[in-house]
């Protein structure tokens, strides 16, 4: 059973500041004229793009931070023609309204997933980078058809901690109190043991944002049958430039 949510607390000034640093939404904003999907939510209206909406099976795409998700529509149209793909912007991103937070974004993703289940026979979920932290929570709470994770991490706290310079000699990196400074943890490892869907992980060998150890720790907690495809010469972004990337996704989602 899913763990009950922690008690809600009033956001502090520090919470608001750290959220403004975590959620890089400003560069993704655009008008609603390019969107073809709308879902009203408490405190927000979610909007996105749909390709191949007539297909019986669907894919929900949860994008990375600072990502203009609707721009991926043509790539999914070409490479995943056998599924309807829903590219829905997080609240506060793209043409969606509202203010982003981890709790709200995960709740929105669950609501979109539930809505797609009323429209399609089977629904898979693909989460990229920050979206992997949302996708794991969706797959832990719902019986998703298939789960694809692109450059995923164990937790946002661990990612940030691994990138910080050590302030003093002898300081142990794992003891840096990052968790007390972040309102958003995206702790995928905490949820991974409840994922039962067939899972595909696509990772980069030269990822300087999500370091290999961060992905390794998550994979160790995912189902033993998890398939892993390595792009040894690519960084956090460039792996999506290869036909092999799209072929792996297309094949897995058949």
Residue written as token pair 């919470």 = 15
Mean pLDDT of 104-125: 98
User: Looking at 98-185, which runs of residues are DSSP E strands?
Assistant: 122-128, 147-150
Q: What is the DSSP letter of 185?
A: -
The domain in which residue 119 lies consists of 13-164+174-252
Do the domain assignments include residue 169? Answer: no
- One-character DSSP codes across 30-94: --GGG--EEEEETTEEEEEEEESTTSSEEEEEE--TT--GGGGHHHHHHH-TTSEEEEEPPTTST
- DSSP helix/strand/coil, 10: coil
Number of H helices, E strands in the chain: 8, 8
Cα distance between residue 160 and residue 136, in whole Å: 19
pLDDT category at 192 given cuts 50, 70, 90 is very high
Instruction: Check whether 6 has a pLDDT greater than 70.
Output: no
- DSSP helix/strand/coil, 202: strand
- DSSP helix/strand/coil, 231: strand
Do the domain assignments include residue 44? Answer: yes
How confident is the model at residue 217, as a pLDDT?
97
Mean pLDDT of 26-34: 93
Cα distance between residue 174 and residue 178, in whole Å: 9
Percentage with pLDDT > 90 across the chain: 78
Do the domain assignments include residue 5? Answer: no
Mean pLDDT of 190-212: 96
Joined tokens for residue 45: 């209206």
How confident is the model at residue 56, as a pLDDT?
98
For residue 67, give the CATH number of its domain: 3.40.50.1820
Do the domain assignments include residue 70? Answer: yes
pLDDT category at 107 given cuts 50, 70, 90 is very high
Joined tokens for residue 158: 């661990």
pLDDT in tens, 134-155: 999 999 999 999 999 999 999 9
Contact status, residue 125 vs residue 144, Cβ threshold 8 Å? yes
Do the domain assignments include residue 62? Answer: yes
pLDDT category at 3 given cuts 50, 70, 90 is very low
Instruction: Check whether 2 has a pLDDT greater than 50.
Output: no
Do the domain assignments include residue 194? Answer: yes
Mean pLDDT of 89-114: 97
Do the domain assignments include residue 2? Answer: no
Cα distance between residue 204 and residue 59, in whole Å: 22
Do the domain assignments include residue 244? Answer: yes
Cα distance between residue 210 and residue 111, in whole Å: 28
Domain count, the chain: 1
């Amino acid at each position: 059973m899913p763990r009950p949510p922690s008690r809600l607390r009033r956001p502090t000034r520090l919470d608001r500041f750290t959220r403004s640093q975590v959620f890089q939404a400003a560069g993704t904003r655009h008008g609603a004229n390019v969107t073809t999907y709308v879902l009203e939510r408490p405190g927000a209206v979610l909007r996105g793009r749909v390709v191949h909406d007539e297909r019986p099976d669907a894919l929900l795409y949860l994008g990375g931070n600072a990502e203009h998700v609707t721009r991926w529509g043509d790539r999914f149209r070409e490479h995943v023609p056998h599924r309807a793909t829903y590219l829905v912007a997080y609240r506060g991103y793209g043409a969606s309204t509202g203010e982003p937070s981890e709790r709200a974004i995960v709740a929105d993703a669950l609501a979109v997933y539930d809505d797609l289940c009323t429209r399609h026979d089977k629904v898979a979920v693909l989460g990229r980078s920050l979206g992997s932290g949302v996708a794991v929570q969706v797959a832990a709470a719902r019986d998703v058809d298939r789960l694809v994770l692109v450059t995923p991490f164990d937790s946002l706290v661990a990612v940030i901690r691994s990138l910080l310079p050590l302030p003093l000699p002898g300081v142990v990196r794992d003891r840096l109190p990052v968790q007390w400074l972040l309102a958003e943890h995206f702790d995928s490892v905490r949820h991974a043991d409840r994922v039962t869907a067939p899972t595909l992980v696509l990772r980069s060998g030269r990822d300087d944002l999500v370091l290999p150890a961060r992905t390794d720790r998550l994979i160790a907690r995912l189902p033993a049958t998890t398939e892993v495809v390595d792009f040894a010469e690519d960084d956090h972004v460039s792996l999506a430039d290869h036909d092999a990337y799209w072929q792996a996704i297309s094949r897995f989602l058949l």
